[in-house]
Structure 1
Amino acid sequence: MNLRDASKNKKLILSILFDAIGMIPFIDILWAPLSGYLMTKLYKGTKGKLAGIFSFIEEIIPGTDFIPTFTIMWVYTYVFSSETSTEDRIIDIN
């Protein structure tokens, strides 16, 4: 599956799944770099890179696994952000 082509709903499902994986105890050392990488693939551009760094830091620090970083990024991107990427625009041809 190509993460770049994932729809908004697929990104939400993946975000929830990745947050759940991040809550598994004792895998932080392996999950931290992978979560940072996955974040940059789900969300492009500068905000994806910054979210990837934040995700890495959040996962590597013990006791912060409860923060749903991927889901927060999804909410920021699709609920609070005023930007609409070209892949999210709906073109009505009537």
Structure 2
Amino acid sequence: MGILGWIILGLIAGALAKLIMPGKQGGGIIVTMVLGIVGAMLGGWLGNFLPFLTAGVGGVTLGSIFTAVIGALIVLWIYGMITKKSAR
């Protein structure tokens, strides 16, 4: 899948990850979209190494959306931990 596909998938994954993990991560919709794109790329990268995620890196399928959402959740969680510490 090309970079444009991962960007579009990342936007979808960011929105789904935010629905799954609501909270006060801050940043608004723009940060959520960027985190979703980074998470989709992370999920795609992880999909190359983890055999149960390899179905998710070939194109826009349910597997790729699942993989991208997993990556976006990881990135959103890390971002939430970083912003929580800096808010103190």
Q: If the length of structure 2 is used for normalisation, what is the TM-score? A: 0.36
- Larger RCO: 1 or 2 (CA < 8 Å, sep 6+): 2
**More helix by percentage:** 2
Higher Rg of the two aligned structures: 1
Q: If the length of structure 1 is used for normalisation, what is the TM-score? A: 0.34
